[in-house]
């Protein structure tokens, strides 16, 4: 699958201020640092994604590169959303190169999925099996889906439609939607169905939906997207709390027979971990979910003092992600192509991963 790209000029009187806003937002929200290209433009890369910003006489240039159109569509939405926070007119006037936007239609990467069944995989983890029409057409586009559902439970959904600036127009008021990215645990193309696993916790809208999902009910989804390949390494370090376990399962499938490395995961017991995870030659370290956040970073440091990985991955709580990203880069010397530390949720922040 060939990478795709798209670009635009954000028309604004102070492109430097607009650029500073992007650098601050992306650095704060995602912990990403920017590099400077030979021509003076600034950019960041993560996995198969790249975003370039450049100062121009007529505004701020933005160039997006990603593995597929779905990935690019999510990046476009992020750009428009950030611009709209400081200059709504500039955001509305954005037009992207390549392709055509069907204004008023649902996003091309949108589908309405049907619940087939829901059950507890193990204590604290609920699996929902969904019918996914056209699953064979998005093979290899990534492991993550953005689930959409009305904030008001039981309300008929009003799904987003596209604007000319390449971003969805989201319903508001009583029709407002809740959106959260989840990881596909298993995809069965021959049956056009997927499994998603959701950590159960009090007060979470997605969690409550998963435990009460009735066969035949509908949920919206955009995607899939995300990391489409795993860099080859002699030694891996893969870690995740409960929210990242489906991602770990996906990665271990890609690692295959690799036998040098460590996996650190939160499970009720080692027996449960062995049943849930694909067979692996990597050393599996199982931690009590209640102690995971507090004990993870010290354990990672202890392990990597003896065995430095060539590739490191973490998915879980924001603070853990921040600390491990720093450790991966400054202590282990891993560059942006050989480490990925991602926040799937943030303690104390309502709606972040709920």
* pLDDT one-digit tens code per residue, 24-66: 877 766 667 788 888 888 888 877 788 999 999 999 999 999 8
Residue 33 lies in a domain: yes
* pLDDT one-digit tens code per residue, 335-352: 888 999 998 888 866 544
The enclosing domain of 211 has a CATH number of 2.40.30.10
In sequence order, which residues have a C-beta less than 8 Å from that of residue 343 and are 6 or more positions away?
30, 31, 316, 317, 318, 321, 322
Q: Which of 187, 205, 225 is the last residue of a domain?
A: 225
Residue 103 lies in a domain: no
Q: Band the pLDDT of 191: cuts 50, 70, 90.
A: very high
Confidence at residue 352, expressed as pLDDT on a 0 to 100 scale: 44
Give residue for tokens 């607009």.
Answer: 18
Rounded to an integer, the average pLDDT of 304-316 is 94
- Rounded distance, CA 45 to CA 64, Å? 10
In sequence order, which residues have a C-beta less than 8 Å from that of residue 182 and are 6 or more positions away?
144, 145, 146, 147, 196, 198, 206, 246
Asked if 203 and 241 sit in the same domain, the reply is no
Confidence at residue 31, expressed as pLDDT on a 0 to 100 scale: 65
Confidence at residue 257, expressed as pLDDT on a 0 to 100 scale: 78
Radius of gyration of the chain (CA): 21
In sequence order, which residues have a C-beta less than 8 Å from that of residue 54 and are 6 or more positions away?
39, 40, 41, 42, 60, 61, 63
* Residue 339 lies in domain: 236-345
Number of domains in the chain: 3
Residues paired with 147 in a beta bridge: 180, 221
Residue 146 pLDDT > 70: yes
Confidence at residue 29, expressed as pLDDT on a 0 to 100 scale: 66
Number of C-beta neighbours around residue 212 at 10 A: 11
* More confident: 16 or 153: 16
What is the pLDDT of the chain when averaged over all its residues?
90
Asked if 218 and 116 sit in the same domain, the reply is yes
The enclosing domain of 76 has a CATH number of 3.30.310.50
């Amino acid at each position: 699958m060939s990478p795709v790209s798209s670009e635009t000029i954000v028309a604004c009187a102070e492109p430097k201020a607009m650029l500073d806003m992007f650098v601050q937002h992306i650095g704060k929200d995602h912990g990403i640092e920017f590099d400077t290209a030979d021509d003076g433009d600034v950019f960041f890369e993560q996995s198969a994604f790249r975003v370039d910003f450049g100062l121009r006489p007529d505004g701020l240039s933005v160039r997006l590169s990603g593995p597929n159109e779905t990935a690019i569509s999510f990046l476009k939405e992020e750009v428009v959303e950030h611009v709209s926070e400081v200059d709504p007119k500039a955001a509305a006037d954005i037009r992207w190169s390549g392709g055509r936007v069907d204004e008023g239609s649902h996003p091309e990467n949108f589908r309405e999925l049907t619940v087939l069944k829901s059950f507890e995989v193990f204590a604290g983890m609920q699996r929902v099996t969904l019918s996914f029409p056209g699953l064979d057409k998005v093979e290899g586009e990534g492991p993550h889906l953005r689930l959409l559902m009305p904030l008001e439970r039981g309300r008929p959904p009003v799904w987003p439609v596209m604007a000319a600036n390449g971003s969805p127009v989201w319903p508001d008021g009583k029709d407002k939607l809740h959106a959260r990215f989840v990881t596909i645990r298993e995809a069965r193309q021959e049956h056009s169905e997927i499994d998603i696993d959701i950590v159960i916790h009090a007060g979470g809208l997605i969690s409550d939906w998963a435990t009460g999902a009735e066969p035949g009910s509908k949920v919206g989804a955009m995607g899939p997207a995300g990391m489409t390949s795993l860099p080859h390494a002699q030694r891996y370090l893969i870690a995740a709390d409960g929210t990242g376990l489906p991602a770990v399962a996906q990665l271990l499938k890609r690692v295959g027979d690799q036998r040098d490395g460590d996996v650190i995961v939160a499970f009720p017991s080692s027996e449960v971990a062995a049943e849930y995870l694909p067979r692996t030659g990597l050393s599996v370290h199982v931690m009590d979910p209640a102690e995971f956040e507090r004990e993870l970073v010290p354990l990672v440091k202890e392990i990597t003092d003896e065995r430095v990985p060539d590739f490191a991955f973490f998915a879980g709580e924001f603070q853990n992600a921040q600390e491990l990203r720093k450790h991966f880069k400054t202590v282990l010397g891993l560059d942006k192509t050989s480490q990925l530390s991602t926040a799937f949720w943030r303690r104390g922040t309502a709606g972040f991963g709920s």
